[in-house]
Amino acid sequence: MTAASGRRVDMALGAGRLPSGVSDDSSGGPPTAALIDALGVKRNAAVGVAVGVAVAVAAYAVRVFELFGPVSDARSYPIVGPETWFLLLAVVFAAATALGVMLVLTAVRLYGLSTS
């Protein structure tokens, strides 16, 4: 595919309209790098990590420090105590929340760019 025919395909798909601040210059790196920059994925990832860590710390504090009252001791925790298990759970929860927030923010940005 030549550059001219590739541009015609892009124009037919509606990709010919570039939002302000986004250039058609591909000399800055691979095409995916320009897409990542246009969607603000790095910023969205940073926001996602901040939100994920904050939510996980809050959930960990509520559970471990029993901020809503004591939890029944009907469960047993093998190898390590409950604090360690909930710390591991908080790490997983932070990562999942960070990914979810990043995906939602990127999807909103993509929708905004596609409608403008």
Express each pLDDT in 105-116 by its tens digit. Answer: 999 999 998 998
Residue 5: the pLDDT is 47
Is this prediction's pTM over 0.85? no
Domains of the chain, by residue range, sit at: 35-115
Residue 9: the pLDDT is 46
Residue 58 tokens, joined? 């809050």
